[in-house]
Amino acid sequence: MLQLKNIYKEYGGGDTCVPVLYDITLSINDGEFVAIMGPSGSGKSTLMHILGCLDIATRGNYTINNIEVGHAHEEKLEELRRNEIGFVFQSFNLLPRRTVLENVMLPLVYAHVPFEKRESRAIEALAKAGFDTSRIHHKSNQISGGQAQRVAIARALVNNPHIILADEPTGNLDSKTGEIVLGTFQSINKREKATVILITHERDVAEHADRIIFLKDGKIASDEKNKHIRKTIYYDAH
C-alpha cells in the first residue's frame, strides 16, 4: 500500500522558492488502478516522481508497504525502484541501438538476475504486454510507436513490480493504438494484481482507471471512484 501524508514539494529556496505540491494526503491500495489527472502545471508529474522514488518530498511522509521513503538514503530509493516499481514513459525511452529483447532485459541486469533466466523472463513479460514475440530480435528503433510502448510496458513488468507508474503512456500514440495500450494496463491490473498509476491530462484516458484523482494547482481537487469506466479492447494474452 502506498501512503502519502501531508506531502509538500518545493523547488529552490528562500525568495526563489517555487511550491509545486501542497499538503497531499492519499492512500493507494494494492491492486488498484488509479489515474492521476490534471492540467499542465498541476503537479502530477512531480507527484509521480515522488511516488516512483525518483524524487523525495520537501516535507511530509511517504511509505511503500510501511517502508518510509521520505527519509531513505539514495541506496534505499535505488532498491525500491529496482524491485517495487516499473516505469512507462510517454516517449518510451527505449535504448535505440539495442534489440527489443535487450531493452526488456535491462532491469534484470541491475536486479542481479542470472543471465540464463533473463531471456525467458523477458519473453514472458513481452507476451503479457501483448508484443508479438516473433519480433524480439528487432532493433527498438525499427518498430512502431504502439509496439514500442508495449516493449516499454514489458520492461516495466519484467521484474514483477508491485507498482506500475505510467506517465502519459498514450501521449505519443494515435487514439486506436492508445486504446489498445490502455487495455493492456487494465489487463495487467486485473491479471497480475499490480497497482497501476496512470498520469494523464486527458479525461478519456483517465476514465480507463477505477479511481481518478484530480490535481489542481498542486492540491487534490477530487478523489473518487470512477463510475463511468470506459469500455476498452482488453488485450488477452492467451
Partner 1 sequence: MTLIDLFREVYTAIVANKFRSGLTVLGIIIGISSVVVLLAIGAGTQKSIEERIQSIGSNLIMVQPSFGRGQGAVNQGRGSVQTLTIDDFEKISKEIDGIRAISPEINGRRQVIYQRKNTNTQVIGVSDTYQHIRALEIDVGDFFTEQQVANVSRFAVLGSTTKTDLFGDDDAIKKRIRIGGIDFTVIGIIKSKGQSGFGSQDDRIIIPYTTAQRYFSKNNYISSIQISSLFSGEEMIVVQEKIQQLLLSIHKINNPAQADFSVVNQSDIIDTASSITKTLTGFLISVAAISLIVGGIGIMNMMLTNVTERIREIGLRKAVGASKKNIRMQFLFEAIVLTSIGGVCGIILGIVISFILEYFFNIASDVSLNSILVSVLVSSVIGIVFGYIPARTAANLSPIDALRHE
The residues that touch partner 1, with contacts defined as CB under 8 A, are: 49, 52, 54-55, 74-75, 78-79, 81-83, 87, 89, 93, 95, 97-98, 106-107, 109-112, 115, 155, 159
Residues 6+ apart with CB under 8 A from 116: none
Question: For residue 135, how far is the Cα from the chain centroid?
Answer: 24
Smallest gap from Cβ 135 to partner 1, in A, equals 20
Smallest gap from Cβ 102 to partner 1, in A, equals 9
**Which C-beta is closer to partner 1: that of 161 or that of 183?**
161
Complex with partner 1: residue 22 or 89, whichever CB lies closer: 89
Q: Which three cell numbers stand for residue 200?
A: 494523464
**The three-state (H, E, C) secondary structure of the chain, written as one string:** CEEEEEEEEEECCHHHCEEEEEEEEEEECCCCEEEEECCCCCCHHHHHHHHCCCCCCCEEEEEECCEECCCCCHHHHHHHHHHCEEEECCCCCCCCCCEHHHHHHHHHHHCCCCHHHHHHHHHHHHHHCCCCHHHCCCEHHHCCHHHHHHHHHHHHHCCCCCEEEEECCCCCCCHHHHHHHHHHHHHHHHHHCCEEEEEECCHHHHCCCCEEEEEECCEEEEEEECCCCCCCCCCCCC
The least distance separating partner 1 from the CB of residue 94, rounded to whole angstroms, comes to: 8
Nearer to partner 1, 116 or 224 (CB): 116
**Min separation Cβ 110 and partner 1, Å:** 4
Q: How far is the CB of 109 from partner 1 (least distance, A)?
A: 5
**What is the Cα–Cα distance from 91 to 149, expressed in whole angstroms?**
8
Comparing CB distances to partner 1, the nearer of 110 and 234 is 110
The nearest distance, CB 223 to partner 1, in angstroms, is: 25
**Residue closer to partner 1, measured from CB, 12 or 115:** 115
* Residue length of the chain: 238
Nearer to partner 1, 26 or 111 (CB): 111
Q: How far is the CB of 3 from partner 1 (least distance, A)?
A: 22
Strands 219-225, 211-216: parallel, antiparallel or unpaired by DSSP?
Answer: antiparallel
Closest to partner 1 by CB, 169 vs 183, is 169
